[in-house]
Amino acid sequence: MNLSWLEWLPETIKSLLLQISPDILIQMEEVRIREGRPLEINGPEGHRFVTLQGTLTLDAKTAYFPKRDDSRRMLDLISNHSLYTMEEELRKGFVTVPGGHRVGLAGRTVLSGGHVELIRDISGFNMRIAREIRGVADPILPYLIDLRARRIRHTLILSPPQHGKTTLMRDLARQISSGGYGQSEMSLQGIKVGIVDERSEIAGSLRGVPSFDVGPRTDVMDACPKAEGMMMMIRSMSPEVLMVDEIGRMEDANAVTEGLHAGITVIATAHGAGTDELKQRPALALLLENQMFERYVVLNRTSQGLGFRILDQQQRTLQLRDTQGRVQGGGSLV
């Protein structure tokens, strides 16, 4: 049981959370600390407030209200006593701590020339607990392989936030990079993977070194703007598969197109509950129209489990698996 994320919480909150039953702790996804407002946790079951006795409740009034000292300590812990080293993070609004956990920050922003210079008076924290689920990509990966050409297909992974896109990306990177996946007779060797990790979420890099196992042949461009990072990767790191999180802007789409034309497989994610939603977003609609992606994976996770739908280039459903793991539609692998 990996509870390393507890170390980044102030003592008062840590001791409260330690009173919660371990079954809930290991499944927890978020801890939300808001100064002067109830302490909240989020898990597969939805949100709960934490009381002073360490019990869970839905009644906000009886919850523990984190104090000013709590948020000061939290900031001190996650910044290694040195907030001035995190100006870039403060501009972006989150800090990645060892273990790959991401702490989102909210407070009052300071502007400079119309852009956010940094956040000060930080009073809201959202700790997203990063988990490595090895094998989460197992049921999906076979659909992404083009057996005849022995390559990975261009893929777009779609889901609303908190449905496990990043976890899936991490496992895909690991499996593609280490190879040996798929059925034994058609197993492929590991290939070079490049990850452009703008929000340090996929690899959870700390000083440039990934915290998670993203495979032996994987390069990570950490905290790099997506479009620029993709071009840098293509130019200098010669990846065979380029992975990028949450594309959406025009320049991202251009970089993806560039990658596709350079003969590099692109696996990307985007927010959205289905391919129809993409049509409303200009950059993604263009990619959709030009049939740039060969596979679409739409994730849907509930408290029961992870369901997904795989679509082909023309957005026809190849396979659907609901959250209980029931499979509909045969869907050929080739």
Shortest Å, Cβ 306 to other proteins = 35
> Rounded distance, CA 169 to CA 140, Å?
11
Shortest Å, Cβ 77 to other proteins = 8
Exactly one of 3, 6, 20, 77 binds other proteins (CB under 8 A); which one?
Answer: 77
Exactly one of 23, 84, 183, 263 binds other proteins (CB under 8 A); which one?
Answer: 84
C-beta of 87 vs 276, nearer to other proteins: 87
Binding range to other proteins, per CB under 8 A, among 43-51, 82-90, 249-257, 268-276: 82-90
Verify binding: residue 178, other proteins, rule CB under 8 A: no
Q: Report the interhelical angle of 11-18 vs 68-78 (nearest 10°).
A: 90
Verify binding: residue 235, other proteins, rule CB under 8 A: no
Verify binding: residue 15, other proteins, rule CB under 8 A: no
Exactly one of 61, 81, 115, 207 binds other proteins (CB under 8 A); which one?
Answer: 81
Shortest Å, Cβ 25 to other proteins = 19
Among 132, 133, 101, 109, smallest CA distance to 9 is for 101
Shortest Å, Cβ 232 to other proteins = 23
40-43 vs 30-34, strand pairing mode: antiparallel
Check: CB of residue 256 under 8 Å from CB of residue 247.
yes
Q: Which tokens is 248 given?
A: 């959406």
C-alpha distances in Å from residue 312, one per residue of 138, 193, 202, 255: 18, 23, 25, 22
Shortest Å, Cβ 90 to other proteins = 7
Verify binding: residue 188, other proteins, rule CB under 8 A: no
Residue by residue, DSSP assigns 102-139 as: EEEEEEEEEEETTEEEEEEEEEEEEEEPP---TTTTTT
- How many other C-beta atoms lie within 10 A of the C-beta of residue 98? 15
Verify binding: residue 276, other proteins, rule CB under 8 A: no
Verify binding: residue 76, other proteins, rule CB under 8 A: yes
Binding range to other proteins, per CB under 8 A, among 76-84, 128-136, 226-234, 238-246: 76-84
Type of residue at 233: M
Verify binding: residue 11, other proteins, rule CB under 8 A: yes
Exactly one of 6, 20, 56, 83 binds other proteins (CB under 8 A); which one?
Answer: 83
Shortest Å, Cβ 312 to other proteins = 49
C-beta of 207 vs 235, nearer to other proteins: 207
Exactly one of 53, 85, 238, 302 binds other proteins (CB under 8 A); which one?
Answer: 85
Binding range to other proteins, per CB under 8 A, among 39-47, 77-85, 237-245, 300-308: 77-85
Residue by residue, DSSP assigns 146-175 as: ETTTTEEPPEEEEE-TTSSHHHHHHHHHHH
Type of residue at 7: E
Binders of other proteins among 104-123, rule CB under 8 A? 118, 120
Check: CB of residue 194 under 8 Å from CB of residue 218.
yes
Verify binding: residue 73, other proteins, rule CB under 8 A: yes
Residue by residue, DSSP assigns 234-289 as: HHHT--SEEEES---SHHHHHHHHHHHHTT-EEEEEEE-SSHHHHTTSHHHHHHHH
Quick one: residue 64, left, alpha or beta (phi over 0 = left, psi -120 to 50 = alpha)? beta
Binding range to other proteins, per CB under 8 A, among 57-65, 69-77, 274-282, 308-316: 69-77
Contact residues for other proteins, defined by CB under 8 A: 7, 11, 72-73, 75-77, 79-85, 87, 90, 118, 120
